[in-house]
Amino acid sequence: MERLEGVVRDIVFQNEESAFCIIKIEDEQEVHTALGTFPYISVGQTLVLHGESVLHATFGKQFKCESYEEIVPSTMAGIEKYLSSGAVAGIGPITAKKLVEKFGAEIFSIIENEPEKLKELDGIGDKKVRLIYESYIKGREVKNIMVFLQSYGVTPKQALKIYRVFGNDSVAKVKENPYILSDEVPSIGFKTADKIARNLGITLDSPFRIQSGIKYIINEYCAQGSTFIPKEMLLEKGQSILEVGREELEENILHEVMKSKLMLERIDEVEGVFTMPYLYAEISVTKHMLGLLLEGVEALDIPVKDYIHDFEKTNGISFHDKQIEAITGAAENGIEIITGGPGTGKTTIIKCILNIFERAGKKVLMGAPTGRAAKRMSEATGRESKTIHRLIDLSVSTEEDEVLFDEDETLNCDVVIIDEASMIDVMLMNNLLKSIKPKTRLILVGDVDQLPSVGSGKVLEDIIDSGAFPVVKLQFIYRQGKESFITTNAHRINTGVMPVLNAKESDFFFIQGNDSEDSLQKVIELVTTRLPKFNEKWDRVKDFQILTPMRKGELGVYNLNLVLQKALNPRRKKYSFTDLQIGDKVMQTKNNYMIKWRKVKRTFGEPPEGQGIFNGDIGYVTDINEEDNTVSVLFDEDKIVEFESQDLDELELAYAVTIHKSQGSEFKVVLVPLFMGPPLLMSRNLIYTAVTRARELIVLVGSQKALSYMIKNTKTYDRHTSLKYRIMSVMDNVGVE
């Protein structure tokens, strides 16, 4: 095997997921082209490569690297070059020069053993010392982990996550029990753990392998929205995926049931297998919902109908009978569910309900599942509204990264109003209900015809279908004016009728795309040229939102965002640690309860800082700091969050997002590329949800055949849940009709 030692002068190509790179490496004689797997490589590093020289027919002489090791540079110039490369977070070119001038060749020893000495330099405080030290140690350890794991298909990002969980014990933990990865490390699944285990000699019929595989199959299934998996389906999937017999699976399912890790229960003639968190959540939601219903509330000693009439007179409106039913029901009942599509007056009803309770001297708290939905609720009512997470002050354990909720901390109010209730999954609903005191009124408002929650469960649908709670369904359309085509067409779609397309002075347009490539070009032309000319007040980044059914493909989220980033934010500067650019539109992709933010503008009495950014929140990159390897993002127009490099995988470009991710949001202009795809992503409620996100204009681009198919297709992914069954069972047992 040949040996090549040199300094990395350039990274020609780098695949972040696989860590495959093509690099230029310079030895004492010449610059070589080398290719191989190089996790966390940086320009300026000195490497020793082991492999062989090959002659490529097109690219000429190359060095094919099989393994490598890093040599810490010893010359002052080499050390400065290495530190300037971004290999260590918190050190950029300016800081690198100062460190080398101050500490010389001892700098690496000082970082590792005496990091406090770094504060002798101006501009380096406790925070930066900690960042530099942790980055240096982490980089070294992660590279060691990668040397062990890279042959098993573990990506650099996954190696970093393993290190976050197990630290310096990572390799030992994996060797001892590789299946611990799928149980305890986010984003590392059973298949990767199983591949490692097989290479370490663990057999197919190992009980621990089968038990870990069973959990994997259940979690994968429930990630699609269910709260349990039918046992027969689990057995079929288990035999196929785990390559073991039915008997072994039955034995291990029973073993996990005996250890109280799984539960078997018959739901509507289907024997279901539950993991305990979803089982407990659905039982708890049932208990709390029926508690609020059956315990009742104190009657309001006020003339509700007179107050409604006063509200009508003040606002120059006249409520329909169904709207009056919704308002009076909210005042009289412990629980009220109000559902209806766009234009049916849900917001006006909420405003009237607020007015009545405030005149009655009752304290009302309002919330919604997402920050954007909460903000829209605040703007529409003129009252404070928060995300449910902030309303009930959800936090996380820093040790186990699990959601924590203090049941003793209940909401101090008389009435809770929740908007966009169709988006609430069973886990969030459980935490919300546990925070509501007995005798508190709960009003849920939403559109049951929209997509169900991204998380598991179909809470609003199950609650309505149980028949146990007062429900008012609004169908009459009140919203008129320039939004009428968006509103009218949304209701046409919801009843299976094709929308009216391209009418004169319409706000609902369809543009034919001959194929995916043609549709993509027309979307780009619309956002860069045609729509800005149509209305100069629209901001091309903030006011336009592309919504698409899927993530992959030419018209999927991934490709659309790459193309749109180049078209809408063309300032291209290469950073050592991120592909983001200042000005990029981004979305938070997971709930991060601990990340801190600071207010850039605030009203009197508001705290200057806080914590928590949540899945689906959209922001804009305001700064990228190469010295500290941080990216600053502005959320909700007033909160700045500083992301360190290791947390950037929580962000993704958001010029285009999936229709699922758009729930609870509203945008001035919505563009939807339409094309034939998998039937489950070509459904009526998907296109209905997309259309109802638009406030001023919607443009569909692509195939009219695809639009027609979606409107006719009412088949959706069948979620298995037990909430409706549990509510109905309790009501039957207590004899309530």
Q: Cα(238)–Cα(243) distance, rounded to whole angstroms?
A: 7
- Count CB atoms within 10 A of the CB of residue 495: 11
Q: What is the DSSP letter of 526?
A: I
Asked if 619 and 633 count as a contact pair (C-beta separation under 8 A), the reply is: yes
- Count CB atoms within 10 A of the CB of residue 289: 26
Asked if 465 and 458 count as a contact pair (C-beta separation under 8 A), the reply is: no
Tokens of 541: 């980044």
Asked if 464 and 339 count as a contact pair (C-beta separation under 8 A), the reply is: yes
Q: Cα(688)–Cα(489) distance, rounded to whole angstroms?
A: 9
At position 540, the amino acid (one-letter code) is R
Asked if 233 and 720 count as a contact pair (C-beta separation under 8 A), the reply is: no
Backbone angles phi, psi at 708, to 5 degrees: -60, -40
Tokens of 367: 């919330």
Strand pairing report for 364-368 and 386-387: parallel
Whether residue 495 is annotated as binding a ligand: the answer is no
Asked if 710 and 679 count as a contact pair (C-beta separation under 8 A), the reply is: no
Whether residue 482 is annotated as binding a ligand: the answer is no
Backbone angles phi, psi at 209, to 5 degrees: -65, -45
Whether residue 345 is annotated as binding a ligand: the answer is yes
H or E stretch including 663?
A: none
Whether residue 344 is annotated as binding a ligand: the answer is yes
Torsion of CA 685, 687, 692, 698, to 10 degrees: -170
Q: How many helices (H) and strands (E) does the chain have?
A: 26, 28
Asked if 297 and 439 count as a contact pair (C-beta separation under 8 A), the reply is: yes
Tokens of 364: 């009302």
DSSP letter string, 246-273: HHHHHHHHHHHHHTTSEEEEEETTEEEE
Whether residue 343 is annotated as binding a ligand: the answer is yes
Residue among 512, 370, 534 at smallest CA distance from 446: 370
Q: Which residues are annotated as a binding site?
A: 343-347
Annotated binding residues for ATP: 343-347
